[in-house]
Amino acid sequence: MIKRTAMALALAALATLPAAAETTFTVLGSGGGPIARPDRSQPANLLQVNGRNIVVDAGDGLSIRLAAKRVRMGAVDDVLLSHLHFDHAGGLLAVLGQRFQTNPDKPVMIYGPPGTAALIDGIVAGMGPAMEAAYGMEDAQIMTPEQLVQVQEIRDGASFMLGDVTVTAAKNSHYSFAHGSDLEAKYESLSFRFDTPDRSIVYTGDTGWSDAVIALAKDADLLVTELIDLPSVMENVRRTAPEHLIEEIEWHLSEHHVSPEQIGRMAAAAGVSKVVATHLVAGARITPEQTESWAELIRAGFDGEIAIAEDLQDF
Amino acid sequence: MIKRTAMALALAALATLPAAAETTFTVLGSGGGPIARPDRSQPANLLQVNGRNIVVDAGDGLSIRLAAKRVRMGAVDDVLLSHLHFDHAGGLLAVLGQRFQTNPDKPVMIYGPPGTAALIDGIVAGMGPAMEAAYGMEDAQIMTPEQLVQVQEIRDGASFMLGDVTVTAAKNSHYSFAHGSDLEAKYESLSFRFDTPDRSIVYTGDTGWSDAVIALAKDADLLVTELIDLPSVMENVRRTAPEHLIEEIEWHLSEHHVSPEQIGRMAAAAGVSKVVATHLVAGARITPEQTESWAELIRAGFDGEIAIAEDLQDF
């Protein structure tokens, strides 16, 4: 576990950094899961600060979106996982596999909530035969698991530096296990705050309404948030899901995700300057009219700048 | 191991099938690896026969391309892997993860060469904590590993039925371990032939020149083949790879992949009706001029129909 005291060191370090630092946050995949969309890649983002490439969530299609940003898989320094749902993590086998096959000069660092180490350990163990067969030539073993990846699990309150970036994690409300239960003690879904030399950016990951996320986002320049269009999703659910699951699904979707109205109120409460909605979950193909209506609903509670993300859009 | 005698049963079964059967082979991802391309998804294909959805190789981005074909992950019946390079397998975590989260009514069947079972076992073991946390609610465990996936390893000569489709596997020349070595005995890269009620389709996977593939493709309606543009790739390699690896990389690329000229000669030798080139490996963004020049080079040896695949193109 990375200690919270790292935050103090991190903030001290910031004071000595050059003013010319440049931060870009790119939404690589703006679709939400668990069902993939045809028109948007699965949740993944890229934070670039002074040459460091930090991937934030790693959904299916990540490698193709990274290629569009001209970032090779081997040039990724860190991968942060907000939680272990597979729309956010499904691209990890491609991350590790493509790195194995392209000789990066160091292991990728993966940070995520409890369960991340087991996930990576399992994937790497599974890759064993493929790593032994490699390119189908004798004596062509390219790298060991240790050269491939290192994992650090993090929890609520963790704070650590990735190059010039201070990352702070807070437990959000995407999970709602029974209070005092084993599962509650074991698992967390996280939101992240990135303090860079020139910007402060908060990424909600998946969350319902959350005072912890509001506190984490206090006065941030940018709030990158998930969004669900519950009415349109429930229309689909009622048509396709088993009758006995519909009520539970609706409860899950409304408690564990945020509506445009909630986004506006959370952004206002946090006092952020700008909101970017991504991880768009809606029942059908997303139209410009729909994204404009979401922006309107956010605007009802928040008078700052608002954007509904497209894949590969920089912020 | 599935027995070769299944072939006889398979052929007998074909005689009783309705004539109205319909086969569609869709190239979901037409890019080749190991480095992802911005403009094409990683290697993946969809064979649809009488309502059965068979995914053939599962590269990164598969779920998004399937969504574009309106095939939900839970509606995939089978996944076939030609070999264990990660441009062909990187999407498997998304396959299993998205299925776990969307209640399919049966396990997906995965068929692949030796090493496939270990790969899937590792992934599924790694998914343990995420499966336990599930949707963040008590008592919401959705499925066990056994309900999620079943694996069957196959080797050279395997023949088995998937619904109305007879699949036959042949070892190709994508690997070239030393003769008599342990690695040669252990690992295989496979090509597949699909005999459906109305078509015969051969998919090379990755291969160099291969008499075994020519024999497998004998008189097939369609040969779906990989393609490498070696001169343009080597231009890139010479610019970016470590000096001491360049010769080995060039040897690997020329022995373990096929040029457009070789494709034309293999297609002619097999007597196929049509060639579709996919798994396109080229040094830079692929232009229409380049695809036309590849078609010309194939045409030098082969006088049938020729197509250079785009993502989501049906054949």
Phi first, then psi: what are they for A29, rounded to 5°?
-130, 120
- Cα-based angle B163, B103, B52 (whole degrees, multiple of 5): 15
Residues A126, B129: C-beta atoms closer than 8 Å: no
**B42-86 pLDDT tens trace:** 999 999 999 999 999 999 999 999 999 999 999 999 999 999 999
| Chain A residues 103-132 with CB within 8 Å of chain B | 103, 114-115, 118-130, 132
Residues in chain A with CB shorter than 8 Å from the CB of B70 are 38
The pLDDT value given to residue B104:
92
Chain A: give the shortest CA distance to residue B157, in Å.
Answer: 20
| Chain A residues 141-160 with CB within 8 Å of chain B | none
- pLDDT > 90? residue B264: yes
**B244-263 pLDDT tens trace:** 889 989 999 999 999 999 99
* DSSP one-letter code for B216: H
pTM of the model: 0.92
pLDDT of chain A along its 315 residues, tens only? 333 333 333 434 444 444 456 999 999 999 998 999 999 999 999 999 999 999 999 999 999 999 999 999 999 999 999 999 999 999 999 999 999 998 899 999 999 999 999 999 999 999 999 999 999 988 766 688 999 999 999 999 999 999 999 999 999 999 999 999 999 999 999 999 999 999 999 999 999 999 999 999 999 999 999 999 999 999 999 998 889 889 989 999 999 999 999 999 999 999 999 999 999 999 888 999 999 999 999 999 999 999 999 999 999
Q: May I ask the CATH architecture of the domain A21-314?
A: 4-Layer Sandwich (3.60)
ipTM: 0.92
- pLDDT > 50? residue B14: no
Residue B159 pairs in a beta bridge with B168
Residues B93, A93: C-beta atoms closer than 8 Å: yes
Cβ contacts below 8 Å, chain A against chain B, sum to 260
| Chain B residues 228-267 with CB within 8 Å of chain A | 242, 245, 248, 252, 256
Position B125 confidence tier, pLDDT thresholds 50, 70, 90: very high
Query: B37 vs A25, A63, B30, B144, CA distance in Å?
Result: 21, 8, 10, 35
Q: Are strands A165-171 and A159-162 parallel, antiparallel or unpaired?
A: antiparallel
- pLDDT > 90? residue B201: yes
Residue among B101, B133, B176 whose CB faces A136 most closely:
B176
Sheet holding A23-29: strands in order across? A149-153, A108-112, A78-80, A52-58, A44-49, A23-29, A313-314
Structure tokens at B121: 């076992």
- pLDDT > 60? residue B191: yes
Averaged pLDDT for residues B137-144: 76
Sheet holding B44-49: strands in order across? B149-153, B108-112, B78-80, B52-58, B44-49, B23-29, B313-314
The pLDDT value given to residue B21:
63
Q: Give me the percent of chain B exceeding a pLDDT of 70.
A: 92
- pLDDT > 50? residue B95: yes
Distance CA B103, CA B73 (A): 10
